[in-house]
C-alpha cells in the first residue's frame, strides 16, 4: 500500500519523532551507509522554480543510491494538455515515487489519487510539508525538544505558515502567528490543527506580542510565487511585519531565527538578523537534505 506525503496529517507524531531521530543520525554520520534506493528512480516534477527543494531531493536521492528524474511541464505532455490522471498512471509504471511542486494543492491530490506510487508535496499553494520537516528537525537540533516551546511566525499566513500550524498541532509546541488583517492562515487548516491538539495556536496582529518570550521566530517572504501581481499592495500591508533587531529584543535571549528561504533581505527580515548570531537559517536549509532522505527511506523502501 503506497503512502503519500501531501500534508503533515499523513504522518503520525510518533513517525515524525522517528523521522527526526533518523535525520539527525544521518546528519551526524552515525548511521551505517545504506543505499535503499538502489535501482529505483524518483521523479521530481516542478511546475515552479526551486533551489533548495529540488537540489536537496536530487542530491539526497543520489546519496541513497537512486536516480532522480527531473521534469517540468514544458518537457512533459502535461504541458500540452495530457491529463493529470493519465500522467500519474503512466509515471507510476516507471518511477518508485514522485515529488511534485505545483500551484494548486488539488492538482497534487488528483495526481496522488491516480498514482500507485508515493506522491510527496514539494510545495503547493496551501502547504509546504517538506519544509516543515526541516523546520522541526532544526528546532529539535538547536533546542533539544519541541514540546512546550513557543514559536512565533511573523508574516503571511501562507503555505509555510499553514504547514507550521500543522507541525505545532502534531508536536505540541505553542505557535503565535502575527499577520496583518486579511492575511490570516486558512481557517480550515487552523480549525483542524486546534481541534487535534492542546497546544495553543494563536493568530494576532501585533508582531511584538507574538515574539514575546519566544524560543523561535520564523518568517517567510511577503509575496509568494504566483502572487507577483499583488506585490506592491502586499508589501504595503506587511511593512510592520519585519524580523529585525528590535523584534528580537522581545524574545528569549537564546531565541533562534528561522526562514525557509529564499529571503527578500530588507523586507521580511533584515541583513543583521539573517546573518547574525541567532540565525539558524542555513542549518535549516541544510536540514532539508537530511529530513527528506529520512522521509524517502520511510516512504519508498
Catalytic residues: 101, 128, 131, 220, 260, 288
The number of residues making up the chain comes to: 301
Backbone angles phi, psi at 85, to 5 degrees: -60, -40
168 binds ligand CP (CB under 6 A): no
Instruction: Return the closest-CA partner of residue 58 out of 107, 101, 25.
Output: 101
SS3 call for 152: strand
Alpha-carbon distance 1 to 8, whole Å?
Answer: 19
The residue within the footprint of ligand NVA, chosen from 160, 201, 216, 257 (CB under 6 A), is 160
Shorter beta-carbon distance to ligand NVA: residue 96 or 124: 124
Judged by CB under 6 A, which stretch of 34-42, 51-59, 113-121, 250-258 contacts ligand CP? 51-59
Q: In angstroms, what is the minimal distance from the CB of 99 to ligand CP?
A: 11
Q: In angstroms, what is the minimal distance from the CB of 18 to ligand CP?
A: 23
Sketch the per residue contact string, 211 through 250, with ligand NVA: x for CB under 6 A, - otherwise: ---------xx--xx-------------------------
- Binding partner selected for residue 152 from ligand CP, ligand NVA, none, CB under the kind-specific 5 to 8 Å limit: none
Q: In angstroms, what is the minimal distance from the CB of 51 to ligand CP?
A: 3
Q: In angstroms, what is the minimal distance from the CB of 160 to ligand CP?
A: 8
Write out the DSSP string of 14-82: HHHHHHHHHHHHHHHT-SPP--TTTT-EEEEEESS--SHHHHHHHHHHHHTT-EEEEE-GGGSGGGGT-
- Report cis status (omega within 30 of 0) of the bond before 16: no
Q: What are 41's strand-pairing partners?
A: 67
Query: How crowded is residue 254: how many other Cβ atoms within 10 Å of its Cβ?
Result: 9
- Binding partner selected for residue 51 from ligand NVA, ligand CP, none, CB under the kind-specific 5 to 8 Å limit: ligand CP
- Contact residues toward ligand NVA (CB under 6 A) are 123, 158-160, 220-221, 224-225, 260
- Contact residues toward ligand CP (CB under 6 A) are 50-53, 123, 131, 260-262
Amino acid at each position: 500500500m503506497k503512502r503519500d506525503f501531501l500534508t503533515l496529517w499523513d504522518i503520525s507524531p510518533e513517525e515524525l519523532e522517528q523521522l527526526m531521530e533518523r535525520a539527525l543520525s544521518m546528519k551526524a554520520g552515525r548511521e551505517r551507509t545504506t543505499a535503499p534506493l538502489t535501482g529505483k528512480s524518483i521523479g521530481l516534477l516542478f511546475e515552479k522554480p526551486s533551489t533548495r527543494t529540488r537540489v536537496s531531493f536530487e542530491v539526497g536521492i543520489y546519496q541513497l543510491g537512486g536516480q532522480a528524474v527531473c521534469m517540468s511541464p514544458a518537457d512533459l505532455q502535461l504541458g500540452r494538455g495530457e491529463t493529470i490522471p493519465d500522467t500519474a498512471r503512466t509515471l507510476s509504471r516507471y518511477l518508485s515515487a514522485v515529488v511534485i511542486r505545483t500551484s494548486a494543492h488539488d492538482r497534487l491530490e488528483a495526481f496522488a489519487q491516480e498514482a500507485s506510487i508515493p506522491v510527496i508535496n514539494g510545495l503547493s499553494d496551501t502547504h509546504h510539508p517538506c519544509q516543515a520537516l526541516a523546520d522541526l528537525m532544526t528546532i529539535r537540533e538547536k533546542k533539544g525538544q519541541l514540546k512546550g516551546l513557543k514559536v512565533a511566525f511573523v508574516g503571511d499566513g501562507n503555505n509555510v505558515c499553514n504547514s507550521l500550524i500543522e507541525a505545532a498541532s502534531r508536536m505540541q509546541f505553542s505557535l503565535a502567528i502575527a499577520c496583518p488583517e486579511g492575511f490570516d492562515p486558512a481557517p480550515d487548516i487552523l480549525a483542524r490543527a486546534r481541534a487535534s491538539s492542546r497546544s495553543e495556536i494563536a493568530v494576532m496582529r501585533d508582531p511584538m506580542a507574538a515574539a514575546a518570550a519566544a524560543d523561535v521566530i520564523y518568517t517567510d517572504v511577503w509575496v509568494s510565487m504566483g502572487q507577483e501581481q499583488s506585490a506592491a499592495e502586499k508589501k504595503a500591508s506587511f511593512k510592520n511585519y519585519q524580523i529585525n533587531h528590535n523584534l528580537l529584543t522581545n524574545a528569549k535571549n537564546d531565541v533562534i531565527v528561522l526562514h525557509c528561504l529564499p529571503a527578500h533581505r530588507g523586507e521580511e527580515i533584515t541583513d543583521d538578523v539573517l546573518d547574525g548570531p541567532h540565525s539558524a537559517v542555513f542549518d535549516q536549509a541544510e536540514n532539508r537534505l537530511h529530513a527528506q532522505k529520512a522521509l524517502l527511506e520511510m516512504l519508498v523502501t
